[in-house]
Amino acid sequence: MIRTINEGFGTIYDRFCKAEMIRRIQHDNSIKSVTEVDVGIPILHSGGLGLDSMLVSDEFSEVQFIYSLEENRQYAEKFFPKSATYCSFENFLKGSAKTTDLLFGNYIIEFVHDLEAFIKIVKDYKYVLFFESNHLNIGHALYKIVGRRFMIAPWVEYESVRKTTPYLAVKVLSELGIKNLVYGMIDFPFFAPASGVSPFKKARTELKSFCLQSLNPKQTAIIRAGMALERYLPQSMRRLFHMFYVLAVNRN
């Protein structure tokens, strides 16, 4: 059954940070088509498929989804009932998906078991963008101490294949033949994620009208201020951010 998602302000802020990164890459490189990958974290645990693409869908002429969970596909089909195409993760690894200009996904390095097989396919995409949870973040340490009391990272109940940090991600990708890597930190709340301790934890993701303007003025102002502040925080604080990205440019 499809349910409207009540995500919490921290996750919504996370999604807007990622969307801004995707939009910047798209504008700088005139990218027309995009593929979003689902690694099997249910969308009700803030992973899933479709919501990140919905924030930037107007920027692309073609959107493709690689899904691992049927539940996540059902959500994506609700967001994109006509314009998107779909391919299972299994068939993606067999080379059945269409190659687009940009491929992106959440927690790929952290959760994909056969990363080598995945990277062999990914090398056909010119731009590849990984969004990963940062295990240097204090939230991961807090979880070990206090458990779920603060609603820290709903997906931590899934066993990470790799305890991802920017440095580990670059090392792993480099060893698998991915070059031209750029990485950085995003998502300021370093008690990751903010949803469990935020005064906005009932902020809602509307299925058909999810954009910055659809939030109330206070939430919009905080998101804009937080994204602006991130550029000026010192490296010692940035390294503790909730998430990081790794951008790879495959020059074949």
Locus of tokens 């088509």: 33
Q: Tell me the domain boundaries of the chain.
A: 9-249
Pick the CATH number of 9-249 from 3.20.20.80, 3.40.50.150, 2.40.10.10, 3.40.50.300: 3.40.50.150
142-156 burial, b at 16+ Cβ within 10 Å, e below that, comes to bbeeeeeebbbbbbb
| Residue 216: Cβ within 10 Å count | 9
Cα angle 161, 166, 170; round to 5:
85
Q: Which of 4-13, 143-152, 206-215, 218-227 has the lowest mean pLDDT?
A: 143-152
For residue 194, the model assigns a pLDDT of 42
The arithmetic mean of pLDDT across residues 72-87, rounded, is 86
Q: Which of 22-31, 51-60, 241-250 has the lowest mean pLDDT?
A: 51-60
For residue 210, the model assigns a pLDDT of 66
For residue 252, the model assigns a pLDDT of 57
- pTM, rounded to two decimals: 0.87
Structure tokens at 77: 């089909």
Q: What is the pLDDT of residues 82-131, one digit of tens each?
A: 789 999 999 999 999 999 999 999 999 999 999 999 999 998 899 999 99
Average pLDDT, the chain: 82
For residue 167, the model assigns a pLDDT of 94
- Answer yes or no: are the C-beta atoms of 189 and 236 closer than 8 Å: no
Q: Is the pLDDT of residue 157 over 70?
A: no
Which ranges of the chain does DSSP label H, i.e. alpha helix? Answer: 9-29, 51-56, 70-79, 89-93, 108-111, 115-122, 138-146, 166-175, 217-230, 235-238
| Residue 113: Cβ within 10 Å count | 10
| Residue 165: Cβ within 10 Å count | 19
- Answer yes or no: are the C-beta atoms of 208 and 197 closer than 8 Å: no
Q: What is the pLDDT of residues 18-39, one digit of tens each?
A: 998 998 898 888 899 999 999 9
Question: Band of the pLDDT at 195, cuts 50, 70, 90?
Answer: very low
For residue 57, the model assigns a pLDDT of 82
For residue 15, the model assigns a pLDDT of 86
Which of 41-55, 119-133, 202-216, 229-243 holds the top average pLDDT? 119-133
Structure tokens at 207: 């299925």
